[in-house]
């Protein structure tokens, strides 16, 4: 019988900001600085780490912000962890279900508990999720994601500069007025590379003819072309085209994902740990999709090192059928804070860590360098 972790004696929150190498643009906004809140849960025998990884408030991925996540972690989540022990992932889920507010905030703490539990039970997170050794040994495929560029020439140059690193597919961002011609140019320049597009919810059912044109380019999928709540539009689109529609922002909870599947609004689901509130909810959505014959893959915000490392473990699950959005830290950021560095182990491939828990540690000097604020919680301060 597995033993529980030692009681949590300390929780440390650290807000970091690390610049991107260049601004990242989607249809809903632009960001040049990456915010992340590290969550460290400490016992007498170990430390678990997680990352709450919202984008800046000016960015259009979600309504979650660094300040909002910080407040939820400081006021509710971190104090609730002091004195707790966890014996199973089910106990982590039960505790996380008591947290209200941002799912991004919850993900940081929930992931730290998975890391702590894995270390206590001498198991990797991939093993605790239910991946088999064969899947773990294969590694996790990395796909290239490219934001909106100032010109088609810049888009083609960006893709060309990175393809030599062996990425297993290419994703480009689109928006109304910048879509069909982008895909046509990429197809003409690069031929039959595995290619997909991401609309970040910028389209409506009135744009279905655009997607009928895109349907001719043999794309892997159309990711979140319409708003998260527009299940009618997504279902109409999936009925009109042969290319699979992929849910991203729509797949926020198990219940919403189930409803979208019931209404035939998709054939693929993007799993994002931050968006759904942690590894447990992401696994539940994965399992639902498997039961319903809907393929999955693992997306990224992108997060910094710890956030993406948790995604590597999640992507070992059997129903994750497509390359991830997880990329080496050096692809996006001027620096990172994890040891070992988040790098490809072979062209387009991440090795799955084999050390218990997450398999990555933090570089304390890097954390101090990029720290914006920090809070420590103990039994005395949380009480």
Note the pLDDT tens digit of each residue in 232-272: 999 999 999 999 999 999 999 999 999 999 999 999 999 99
Q: How far apart are CA 73 and CA 71, in angstroms?
A: 5
How many CA atoms does the CB half-sphere of 59 hold within 13 Å?
22
- Token pair of 112, please? 């730290």
169 within 8 A of 323, measured Cβ to Cβ: yes
Q: How far apart are CA 254 and CA 342, in angstroms?
A: 30
> CB-based contacts of 362: which residues, under 8 Å, 6+ apart?
38, 40, 49, 306, 337, 338, 339
Q: Residue ranges of the alpha helices (H) in the chain? A: 66-72, 78-81, 89-96, 103-121, 125-129, 133-138, 152-163, 180-190, 208-214, 231-240, 254-262, 273-276, 279-292, 305-314, 329-332, 364-370, 379-382
> Per-residue pLDDT for 383 more than 80?
no
* 246 burial via Cβ count (<10 Å: 0-12, 13-18, 19+): buried
- Token pair of 205, please? 């059912």
144 within 8 A of 169, measured Cβ to Cβ: yes
Tell me, what's the pLDDT at 1?
43
77 within 8 A of 106, measured Cβ to Cβ: yes
Tell me, what's the pLDDT at 28?
60
> Per-residue pLDDT for 121 more than 80?
yes
Domains detected in the chain: 10-123+362-382 (3.30.390.10), 127-360 (3.20.20.120)
Q: How far apart are CA 38 and CA 16, in angstroms?
A: 8
> Per-residue pLDDT for 58 more than 60?
no
Angle at 336 between CA 332 and CA 339, to 5 degrees: 130
- Token pair of 258, please? 């189930």
Beta bridge partners of 357: 124
The whole model's pTM is what?
A: 0.95
Task: Please report which helix (H) or strand (E) contains residue 340, including its range.
Answer: none
Residues forming the active site? 173, 272
Q: What is the pLDDT of residues 32-48, one digit of tens each?
A: 899 999 999 999 999 99
Tell me, what's the pLDDT at 252?
96
Cα-based torsion angle of the residue sequence 173, 336, 65, 282 in order, rounded to the nearest 10 degrees: 70
> Per-residue pLDDT for 370 more than 60?
yes
- Packing angle of the helix pair 279-292, 89-96 (nearest 10 deg): 110
């Amino acid at each position: 019988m597995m033993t529980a972790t030692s009681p949590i004696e300390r929780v440390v929150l650290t807000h970091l900001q690390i610049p991107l190498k260049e601004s990242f643009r989607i249809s809903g906004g632009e960001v040049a600085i990456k915010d992340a809140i590290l969550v460290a849960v400490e016992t007498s025998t170990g430390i678990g780490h997680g990352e709450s990884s919202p984008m800046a408030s000016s960015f259009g991925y979600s309504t979650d912000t660094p300040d909002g996540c910080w407040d939820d972690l400081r006021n509710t989540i971190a104090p609730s962890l002091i004195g707790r022990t966890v014996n199973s992932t089910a106990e982590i889920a039960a505790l996380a279900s008591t947290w209200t507010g941002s799912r991004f905030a919850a993900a940081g703490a929930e992931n730290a508990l998975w890391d702590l539990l894995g270390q206590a039970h001498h198991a990797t997170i991939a093993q605790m999720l239910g991946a088999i050794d064969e899947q773990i040994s294969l590694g996790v495929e990395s796909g290239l994601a490219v934001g909106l560029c100032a010109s088609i020439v810049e888009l083609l140059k960006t893709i060309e500069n990175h393809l030599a690193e062996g990425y297993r597919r290419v994703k480009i961002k689109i928006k109304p007025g910048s879509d069909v011609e982008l895909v046509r140019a990429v197809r003409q320049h690069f031929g039959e590379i595995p290619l997909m597009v991401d609309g970040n919810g910028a389209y409506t059912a009135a744009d279905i003819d655009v997607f009928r044109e895109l349907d001719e380019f043999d794309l892997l999928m159309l990711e979140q072309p319409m708003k998260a709540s527009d299940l009618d539009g997504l279902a109409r689109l999936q009925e009109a085209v042969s290319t699979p529609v992929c849910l991203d922002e729509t797949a926020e909870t198990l219940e919403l994902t189930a409803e979208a599947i019931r209404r035939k609004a998709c054939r693929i689901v993007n799993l994002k740990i931050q968006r759904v509130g942690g590894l447990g909810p992401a696994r539940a959505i994965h399992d639902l999709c498997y039961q319903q014959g809907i393929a999955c893959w693992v997306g990224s915000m992108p997060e910094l090192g710890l956030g993406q490392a948790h995604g590597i473990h999640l992507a070992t699950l059997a129903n994750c059928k497509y390359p991830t959005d997880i990329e080496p830290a050096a692809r996006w950021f001027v620096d990172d804070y994890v040891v070992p560095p988040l790098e490809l182990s072979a062209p387009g491939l991440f090795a799955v860590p084999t050390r218990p828990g997450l398999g990555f540690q933090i570089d304390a000097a890097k954390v101090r360098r990029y720290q914006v604020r920090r809070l420590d919680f103990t039994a005395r301060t949380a009480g």
